[in-house]
Amino acid sequence: MVSSRFLPLICAAGLVLAPAAGWASPSQAAPGSLPASGPLAAAQQAVDAGDSERALALLAPLLKREPGNAGALLLRSTARCIGGELDLCREDFDLALELDPSLRQGWLNRAGLAIADKRYDDAIAALTQAEKLDPGASDNAINLGAVYLLQGKLEPASREFERHLVANARSADAYYLVATNFALAGYSAFAAQNLGRAIELDERSRVRARSDANFAELASTRPFQVLLTSDTFVPPAGSASASRMYRSPYKGADSPLLVAVLNALQIAGTPMDPKVEVTDDWALLWSDVRIKIARRSDQETAVELSAAPGKFSAEAWDRRSRELYESIERELLKLGRSGLGRP
């Protein structure tokens, strides 16, 4: 049976054995739609939460009344797969597809189980049928590419990934997902190339990659390390920017200045991205502004601010940056008095 590390490869299929949100669509009227209320909607919510027992309990009376309800059978197959009842899962979605071959999610589920059994040709056949039902679905090419990689067929896999990227040229997530596929298959150069493009489109992809087990085998390679330690961000023309130097040593996650910045944002009630990126030479935070804390010498650290063009007027930017710097200074003084901020 396929290792759980391959489960993310089918991005929208929500491979069987994985309690992924939205991987079964019970609506017979329109593939991919979901009733706003009723037992199917409630069962779908239970499946989305990974609660297969509740989903099955909700579906039982409906299927007793309507044993030929293909949408309900498909949803029950999902719940059974989540619960580990694979044979019953297969029976349900085979019957669902016999009753209604237009249920695209049923074909995706069939592909998922075929992958779990390493029947890759069957998986490709099922995915091809799913694409016929919805040629414009965003997961068509990435799913096929992932299965070709599992077969060791680099050329058709690359062709499908390129098709996916052409359709999602400005999506960091698209490049990140392709990078993940290549990384799992051991193609480190292709993985680094696509991850680099994802970072160009959204630098927070770099933070995401740091803790992503899918890149574990590449973590020590030089291309991957270069990506993780390089801040290549260039503010767009017209961006607002400011910089101030502090006599405070940079110590990575233990930097007093990093603590001061976090405290200043928290005290001000400024929403911020919970992800904080820390390297040996710099740290990055994202709130209403991009904040970089960078080593300049053994005893000096810079705090650099930037904001997208048009986000602040000149007057508002002057006020925002000044207030933030003043708050950081106050917090740094507090840390110094407590002994935490001393060199």
d(CA 196, CA 228): 9
pLDDT for the residue 219: 86
d(CA 148, CA 54): 36
Q: What average pLDDT does range 267-283 have in this prediction?
A: 95
Task: Tell me the per-residue pLDDT of 57-94, one tens digit each, with 9 for 90 and over.
Answer: 999 999 999 999 999 999 999 999 889 898 999 999 89
Query: 222-260 burial by CB neighbour count: b if 16+ within 10 A, else e?
Result: eebeebbeeeeeeeeeebbebeeebebbbeeeebbbbbb
d(CA 106, CA 97): 6
Under the banding of pLDDT at 50, 70 and 90, the label for residue 337 is: confident
How many beta carbons lie within 10 A of that of residue 197, not counting itself?
18
- Is the pLDDT at 15 greater than 90? The verdict is no
pLDDT for the residue 339: 62
Query: Residues 144, 147, 153, 158: is their CA dihedral positive or negative?
Result: positive
Q: What average pLDDT does range 259-282 have in this prediction?
A: 95
Task: Tell me the per-residue pLDDT of 195-226, one tens digit each, with 9 for 90 and over.
Answer: 999 999 999 999 999 999 999 988 889 999 99
- Is the pLDDT at 1 greater than 70? The verdict is no
Task: Tell me the per-residue pLDDT of 92-139, one tens digit each, with 9 for 90 and over.
Answer: 989 999 999 999 999 998 999 899 899 999 999 999 999 999 999 999
Enumerate the β-bridge partners of residue 277. 284
- The predicted model scores a pTM of 0.81
Q: What average pLDDT does range 25-36 have in this prediction?
A: 38
Higher-confidence position of 291 and 12: 291
- Is the pLDDT at 4 greater than 70? The verdict is no
Q: What average pLDDT does range 309-334 have in this prediction?
A: 96
d(CA 76, CA 58): 10
pLDDT for the residue 31: 39
pLDDT for the residue 13: 35
pLDDT for the residue 126: 96
As to burial, measured by CB atoms within 10 angstroms (0-12 exposed, 13-18 middle, 19+ buried), residue 149 is buried
Average pLDDT across the chain, whole number: 87
pLDDT for the residue 55: 93
Q: Please, which residues have CB within 8 angstroms of residue 250's CB and are 6 or more apart in sequence?
A: 257, 281, 282, 293, 294, 295, 301
Q: What's the Rg (C-alpha) of the chain?
A: 25
d(CA 120, CA 193): 26
pLDDT for the residue 220: 87
DSSP state for residue 235 in the 8-state scheme: P
pLDDT for the residue 3: 31
pLDDT for the residue 319: 96
How many beta carbons lie within 10 A of that of residue 15, not counting itself?
23
In percent, the amount of the chain with pLDDT more than 70 equals 88
Under the banding of pLDDT at 50, 70 and 90, the label for residue 16 is: very low
In percent, the amount of the chain with pLDDT more than 90 equals 78
Q: What average pLDDT does range 36-47 have in this prediction?
A: 83
- Is the pLDDT at 298 greater than 50? The verdict is yes
Q: All domains of the chain, ordered by start, with CATH? A: 4-134 (1.25.40.10), 240-338 (3.30.310)
Q: What average pLDDT does range 264-287 have in this prediction?
A: 95
- Is the pLDDT at 175 greater than 70? The verdict is yes
Q: Please, which residues have CB within 8 angstroms of residue 22's CB and are 6 or more apart in sequence?
A: 14, 44, 48
Q: Please, which residues have CB within 8 angstroms of residue 335's CB and are 6 or more apart in sequence?
A: 256, 259, 260, 341
Task: Tell me the per-residue pLDDT of 216-265, one tens digit each, with 9 for 90 and over.
Answer: 988 889 999 999 999 999 999 999 999 999 999 999 999 999 999 999 99
pLDDT for the residue 322: 97
- What is the identity of the amino acid at 332? L
Residue listed under structure tokens 């400011």: 242
